[in-house]
Chain A
Amino acid sequence: MFSQSKKEDILRNVLKGFPHPLSRKWTRGISVWLMCLGVLLLPFITDAALGRGWVRIADFSMLYIMLALGLNIVVGYAGLLDLGYIAFFAVGAYTYALAGSPHLALAFPAIFPDGVHLPFWLVLPLGAILAGIFGVLLGAPTLRLRGDYLAIVTLGFGEIIRIFMNNLNAPINFTNGPQGISRIDPIQVGGVSLNATQELFGITLPSVHLYFYLFLSLTLVIVLVSQRLEHSRIGRAWMAIREDEVAASAMGLNTRNLKLLAFAMGAMFGGVSGTLFAGFQGFVSPESFSLMESVMILCMVVLGGMGNIAGVIVGGVLLAILPEVLRHSVVPLQQSLFGKVLIDPESLRMLLFGTALILMMLYRPAGLLPSRLRRRELDDEEKVETL
């Protein structure tokens, strides 16, 4: 009666109402929910399976994800290479270190007898804005030039800011030099300090768990902002600039201001995670803000796929865990093979990062999880020869 194809059509129509238990939509929905649940329970799972130290590592990987997402705006969306990104993280961290610790009492005992203790939620936007201002100051002179200059200027800035952090302890002690600033106030949420174990609905939440949920929620905010930015008018303009600046400017885009905006916005994200870092650690010193950290964050962005939020998150998690994995595997492995440690895990990690940057650019320029647009753009096949 019906032809074969007609039968299939009818069958398909009937089945449309009931998602097949193995259909992609269904499995996808399930896996998303499972993943959400997994992330929510992550501190408890890692605590039980691997120990409290790993919950701390999970906290740090959240911070790294925030940083990587911030850098992704600059490198991934706008295509500007920032090699001193950690400097903005440092600005944020030192903002909270100064505005939320007894430290300034040393320098100005008359004005601040017990130091400055501004509430964290006031310092958070302050740190972000300050980092953004630094970003504008740095970007304004360089962004009208070729991208290479930005790379080298940011590289220099990352180093300069460390010189200031190391030396601004005399004659007036602002940064306490290489010793760093300690006794930073813990972060409080609604009057509850995150530095102590809290009881919530009958569940005991240790400090690292509390910080995890704080960082998780802020990461989600940053993911949301990134996502909205990506598809906004501004985001599309950034990508246009990234792909062809001359064409973008011919289309009437104010390329300099847009690049500046991307740069400043990336810097602000860095500032936000910096203030969080200071509150979480309770201690900051110039050592945490070396060039290697900038390279590591760049590596996260490049490895995961520039311009792709999911990719960047994966890259961030992978690289935040890597040093720990190396520490636990490389040293015993070498000891059993050679009887002594030939390569320390720290330099091995950096060696891996450097090699990853080179190999990724040579073989998978769009990253492990590339965004579709970025892949098209970085693909060698549709190269345009310009004479």
Chain B
Amino acid sequence: MDIFLQQIINGLVQGSVYALVALGYTMVYGILGLINFAHGEVVMVGALAAISALTALMGWGAPIWLALPLSVLFSIAACMALGYTIERVAYRPLRHAPRLAPLITAIGVSIVLQNLAMMIWGRGYLPFPTLFTNQSHTLGGAIINDIQLIIFSSALLMMAGLMVIVHRTRLGRAMRAVAENQHAAQLMGVDVNRVISLTFMLGSALAAVAGLMVSANYGLAHYYMGFLLGLKAFTAAVLGGIGNLRGAMVGGLLLGLIESLGAGYIGDLTHGFFGSNYQDVFAFIVLIGVLVFRPSGLLGERLAERA
């Protein structure tokens, strides 16, 4: 088995999930100049809602071709509603407040969501139901299974879909206009509040799917999963250049690769001093590194410091 190729595959699969979540961060940042700390929790809610729906539907004897799309839709709808509510409650009233205020409400929202999720779904791990026999395929000495294939391809599909929405539709044009200059967009007849709400909902829909993917990949979900995932996806967004959609995708895939290669080889490189349990540290090192050497990210052209 080729370890290098295996780590590349794992990294790309994990990275595509990061990319989906990072898109949510970057879209909101592009439009409002605000880091939506609660985004990671939306992913968590998406995962847990999808698992609940799947388990319930399968329990009623629904066939998988019906249960899976229905629960995906359910989870997307739940997350969109959640994203809309978060924006309405925690960000909109503070849009002109000092920058500290929305950051504090954001952390408040994520604490509330985490604890609500813990009350609803419990403290333990929720297993992802087995939908089909997950077959493994060998690919040049490495193994990739069906779920990983589905995750990677549907993530790419969703990113392509988002690009179409942003670049080809009326809503996308309005979003770009608001990102460019809110006041000018308003003067041109764009309903800024509606565009911002829709941006949050779009990001949350991606987050719901990402949550489903993560929990399917690992076979479980729990109330605390959103925190670290959100942090990493944010890192991915910064790596690619926050505010830049293509950057978020590139950053996500790249971070996935860095992480899995790093975790795969850190033991050999440090002669066993650090093991793969330090996997989560890589994202942080990448974040600090990017902020020191290239705060605008790989593809970002705008300066990170906007006073």
Q: A164-B281, A353-B108, A358-B90 are in contact. List 7 more A-B contacts (CB 8 A).
A: A79-B100, A81-B103, A163-B277, A167-B275, A298-B104, A347-B118, A380-B96
In the bound complex, how far is the Cα of B280 from the Cα of A81, in angstroms?
Answer: 23
Asked if residues A152 and B306 are in contact (CB atoms below 8 Å), the reply is no
A-B contact pairs, 24 of them (CB 8 A): A141-B291, A145-B291, A145-B305, A146-B304, A147-B99, A148-B99, A151-B35, A153-B291, A156-B235, A156-B284, A159-B227, A160-B284, A163-B278, A167-B275, A167-B277, A295-B111, A350-B111, A353-B108, A354-B115, A355-B112, A357-B105, A357-B111, A361-B105, A378-B101
Q: Please indicate the chain A residues that have their CB under 8 angstroms from the CB of B280 in the complex.
A: 159-160, 163
The verdict on A362 contacting B112 (CB below 8 Å), with A153-B288, A159-B231 known, is no
**Is B231 a contact of A156 with CB atoms below 8 Å?**
yes
B259-293 contacts to A (CB < 8 Å): 272-273, 275, 277-278, 280-281, 283-284, 287-288, 291-292
A333-366 contacts to B, CB under 8 A, are 343, 347-348, 350-351, 353-358, 360-362, 365
Closest to A383 in B: B96
CA A170 to CA B271, docked complex, whole Å: 12
Chain B residue numbers with a CB within 8 Å of A380 are 96-97
Task: Tell whether A171 is near chain B: CB-to-CB under 8 Å.
Answer: yes
Find chain A residues with CB under 8 A from B227 CB.
159, 291
Asked if B107 and A351 make an inter-chain contact with CB atoms under 8 angstroms apart, the answer reads no
Chain A nearest CB, measured from B57 CB (Å): 27
CB distance from A295 to the nearest CB of B (A): 6
Inter-chain CA distance A141–B292, complex, in Å, is 5
The answer to whether A350 touches B115 (Cβ under 8 A) is yes
Which residue on chain A has the smallest CB distance to residue B108? Answer: A357
B-side contacts of A141, CB under 8 Å:
288, 291-292
Q: How far is the CB of A112 from chain B (nearest CB, A)?
A: 20
Taking the nearest CB of chain B, how far is it from the CB of A267, in angstroms? 16
Closest to B181 in A: A387
Are A351 and B291 closer than 8 Å at their CB atoms? Answer: no
Most buried by A among B35, B98, B114, B281: B98
Query: In the complex, which of the residues B35, B99, B109, B235 contacts A354, with contact meaning CB atoms closer than 8 Å?
Result: B109
Q: Does B1 contact A (CB under 8 A)?
A: no
A146 to B, closest residue via Cβ: B305
> How far is it, in angstroms, between the C-alpha of A165 and the C-alpha of B235 when the chains are bound?
22
The secondary structure that dominates the B interface is helix
Decide: B287 and A351 in contact? CB cutoff 8 A: no
> How far apart are B34's CB and chain A's nearest CB, in angstroms?
8
A-side contacts of B102, CB under 8 Å: 361
B104 x A357 contact (CB < 8 A): yes
CA distance A350 to B116 in the complex (A): 10
Q: Indicate if the CB atoms of B295 and A145 lie closer than 8 Å.
A: yes
B98 and chain A: residue at smallest CB distance: A378
Contact A377 B118 (CB under 8 A): no
Q: Evaluate contact between B89 and A358: CB separation under 8 angstroms.
A: yes
Complex interface: chain A residues within 8 A of B188 (CB): none
Q: For B284, list chain A residues within 8 Å (CB).
A: 156-157, 159-160
Q: Which residues of B contact A377 (CB under 8 A)?
A: 98
B100 contacts A167, C-beta separation under 8 Å:
no
Question: Are A148 and B109 closer than 8 Å at their CB atoms?
Answer: no
Interchain CB contact under 8 A, B291 and A385: no
CB-CB under 8 A from A196, the residues of chain B are: none
- Compute the total of residue contacts between A and B using a CB distance below 8 Å: 141
Q: With the chains together, A149 CA to B107 CA distance in Å?
A: 14
Decide: A160 near B281, CB < 8 A? Known: A145-B305, A171-B273. yes
CA distance A81 to B97 in the complex (A): 15
CB of A83 closer than 8 Å to a CB of B: yes
* CB neighbours of A164 from chain B (8 A): 281
Residues on B lying within 8 angstroms of A by beta carbon are 34-35, 37, 89-90, 93-94, 96-105, 107-112, 114-116, 118-119, 183, 227-228, 231, 234-235, 238, 272-273, 275, 277-278, 280-281, 283-284, 287-288, 291-292, 295, 304-307
Q: Is A155 interfacial (CB-CB < 8 Å)?
A: yes
Q: Is the CB of B111 within 8 A of A362?
A: no
Bound Cα distance from A79 to B304, whole angstroms: 19
A152-B231, A351-B116, A354-B115 known; A298+B35 contact, CB < 8 A: no
B192 to chain A, nearest CB (A): 14
The answer to whether A264 has its CB under 8 Å from any CB of chain B is no
Q: Which residues of A contact B35 (CB under 8 A)?
A: 148, 151-152
Q: How far is the CA of A159 from the CA of B226 in the complex (A)?
A: 13
- Is A95 positioned at the interface, with any CB of B under 8 Å from its CB? no
B173 to A: closest C-beta gap in Å? 22
Q: A219: CB under 8 A from chain B?
A: no
The answer to whether A361 and B104 have CB atoms under 8 Å apart is yes
Pick from A152, A246, A361: contact of B108, CB below 8 A. A361
Instruction: Contact check, B107 vs A357: say whether CB atoms are below 8 A apart.
Output: yes
Contacts of B119 in A (CB 8 A): 343, 347, 351
The docked-state distance in angstroms from the alpha carbon of A387 to that of B186 is 12
Q: How distant is B284 from chain A, measured CB to nearest CB, in Å?
A: 5
CB distance from A73 to the nearest CB of B (A): 14
B111 in contact with A353 (CB, 8 Å): yes
| Bound CA span A334–B288, Å | 46
Bound: A325/B270 CA distance, A: 49
Residue picked from A146, A361, A380, most chain B C-beta under 10 Å: A361
The residue on B at minimum CB distance from A343 is B119
Contact A347 B231 (CB under 8 A): no
Which residues from chain A contact B281 at a C-beta distance below 8 Å? 160, 163-164
Q: How far is the CA of A300 from the CA of B133 in the complex (A)?
A: 51
Cα distance A357–B38 in the bound complex, in angstroms = 13
With A148-B35, A167-B277 in contact, do A361 and B109 touch (Cβ < 8 Å)?
no
Interchain nearest-CB distance for B302 vs A (Å): 12
Given contacts A145-B304, A147-B100, A159-B231, contact A358 B291 (CB under 8 A): no
Smallest CB separation, A294 vs chain B (Å): 9
Min CB distance B167 to A, Å, is 27
- Inter-chain CA distance A160–B232, complex, in Å, is 12
